[in-house]
Amino acid sequence: MPSSHRPHQPPGLLLAPMEGLLDFVLRDVLTRVGGWDRCVSEFIRITDQLLPERVFLRIMPELAQGSLTAAGVPVRAQLLGSDPACMADNAARLAAMGSRGVDLNFGCPAKVVNRHGGGAVLLQDPAQIHRIVSAVRAAVPAGVVVSAKMRLGFAHDRLAEACAQAIEAGGASELVVHARTKAQGYRPPAYWHRVADVRQAVRIPVVANGEVWSVADARRCLAESGASSLMIGRGAVVDPGLGWAIRRELGGADLAVPRWSELLPQMQGFWTLVCQRIEPRARAGRLKQWLNFLRRRFPEAQRAYEELRTVNDPAAIQAWLDRPGQPDLRAPARNDSHMPREEALA
Ligand SMILES: Cc1cc2nc3c(=O)[nH]c(=O)nc-3n(C[C@H](O)[C@H](O)[C@H](O)COP(=O)(O)O)c2cc1C
pLDDT at 340 over 50: no
pLDDT at 2 over 70: no
Longest dimension (CA), the chain: 62
Looking at per-residue pLDDT, the higher value among 327 and 101 belongs to 101
Q: What is the pLDDT of residues 208-260, one digit of tens each?
A: 999 999 999 999 999 999 999 999 999 999 999 999 999 999 988 788 888 88
Residue 209 Cα, ligand 1 centroid: separation in angstroms?
Answer: 9
Across residues 285-313, what is the average pLDDT? 93
pLDDT at 345 over 60: no
Phi, psi (degrees; rounded to nearest 5) at 79: -105, 145
What atom in ligand 1 is closest to the CA of residue 235? 26
pLDDT at 5 over 80: no
Q: Which helix (H) or strand (E) holds 265?
A: helix 260-277
Phi, psi (degrees; rounded to nearest 5) at 25: -65, -50
Report the DSSP pairing between strands 174-181 and 146-153.
parallel
Residue 332 Cα, ligand 1 centroid: separation in angstroms?
Answer: 31
Residue 20 Cα, ligand 1 centroid: separation in angstroms?
Answer: 10
Indicate the burial class of 14 (C-beta count within 10 angstroms; 0-12, 13-18, 19 or more): buried
Q: What is the pLDDT of residues 41-95, one digit of tens each?
A: 999 999 999 999 999 999 999 999 999 999 999 999 999 999 999 999 999 999 9
Angle (CA) 59-63-68 rounded to 5° is 110
Residue 60 vs residues 130, 278, 332: alpha-carbon distances, Å: 26, 14, 25
Please tell me the residue having the least CA distance from ligand 1 atom 22: 210
Residue 254 Cα, ligand 1 centroid: separation in angstroms?
Answer: 31
Tally of CA atoms within 13 A in the half-sphere of 188 that contains its CB: 5
Please tell me the residue having the least CA distance from ligand 1 atom 2: 18
Across 92-137, the runs of DSSP E, i.e. the strands, are 102-106
**Other CB atoms closer than 10 Å to residue 247's CB: what's the count?**
21
Least confident of 31-40, 73-82, 269-278, 315-324: 315-324
Residue 233 Cα, ligand 1 centroid: separation in angstroms?
Answer: 6
3-state secondary structure of 143: coil
Please tell me the residue having the least CA distance from ligand 1 atom 23: 210
Across 154-285, the runs of DSSP E, i.e. the strands, are 174-181, 206-209, 229-232
Distance in angstroms (rounded) separating the CA atoms of residues 318 and 234 = 26
What atom in ligand 1 is closest to the CA of residue 190? 25
What atom in ligand 1 is closest to the CA of residue 212? 26
Looking at per-residue pLDDT, the higher value among 331 and 323 belongs to 323
108 an active-site residue? yes
**Other CB atoms closer than 10 Å to residue 37's CB: what's the count?**
23
Please tell me the residue having the least CA distance from ligand 1 atom 3: 18
Distance in angstroms (rounded) separating the CA atoms of residues 172 and 213 = 28
Name 176's bridge partners.
Answer: 149, 207
150 neighbors 178 (Cβ within 8 angstroms): yes
What atom in ligand 1 is closest to the CA of residue 149? 11
| Model confidence band, residue 7 (pLDDT cutoffs 50, 70, 90) | low
Across residues 327-345, what is the average pLDDT? 40
Residue 283 Cα, ligand 1 centroid: separation in angstroms?
Answer: 22
Distance in angstroms (rounded) separating the CA atoms of residues 295 and 149 = 29
Q: What are the DSSP calls for 3-30, one per residue?
A: ----TTSPPEEEEPPBTTTBSHHHHHHH
Q: Which of 39, 108, 163, 221 is catalytic?
A: 108
Q: What is residue 329's predicted lDDT score, i.e. its pLDDT?
A: 40
What atom in ligand 1 is closest to the CA of residue 176? 19
Q: What is residue 338's predicted lDDT score, i.e. its pLDDT?
A: 43
pTM (predicted TM-score): 0.92
Instruction: Out of 106, 176, 178, give the residue to mutate to test ligand 1, the one with the largest number of ligand atoms within 8 Å of its CB.
Output: 178
Instruction: Out of 13, 14, 19, 60, give the residue to mutate to test ligand 1, the one with the largest number of ligand atoms within 8 Å of its CB.
Output: 19
What atom in ligand 1 is closest to the CA of residue 234? 27
| Model confidence band, residue 331 (pLDDT cutoffs 50, 70, 90) | very low
Pocket of ligand 1 (CB under 6 A): 16-21, 42-43, 78, 105, 107, 149, 178, 209-212, 232-235
- For residue 103, which of 136, 128, 70 has the smallest C-alpha distance? 136
Looking at per-residue pLDDT, the higher value among 346 and 89 belongs to 89
Distance in angstroms (rounded) separating the CA atoms of residues 316 and 183 = 42
Looking at per-residue pLDDT, the higher value among 59 and 262 belongs to 59
172 neighbors 143 (Cβ within 8 angstroms): no
Distance in angstroms (rounded) separating the CA atoms of residues 155 and 174 = 24
Q: What is residue 326's predicted lDDT score, i.e. its pLDDT?
A: 55
Residue 266 vs residues 28, 287, 294, 304: alpha-carbon distances, Å: 10, 12, 12, 14
Highest mean pLDDT among 35-39, 259-263, 281-285: 35-39
Please tell me the residue having the least CA distance from ligand 1 atom 5: 18
3-state secondary structure of 292: helix
Residue 23 Cα, ligand 1 centroid: separation in angstroms?
Answer: 11
Q: What are the DSSP calls for 45-103, one per residue?
A: E-SSSPPPHHHHHHH-GGGGGTTB-TTS-BEEEEEE-S-HHHHHHHHHHHHHTT-S-EE
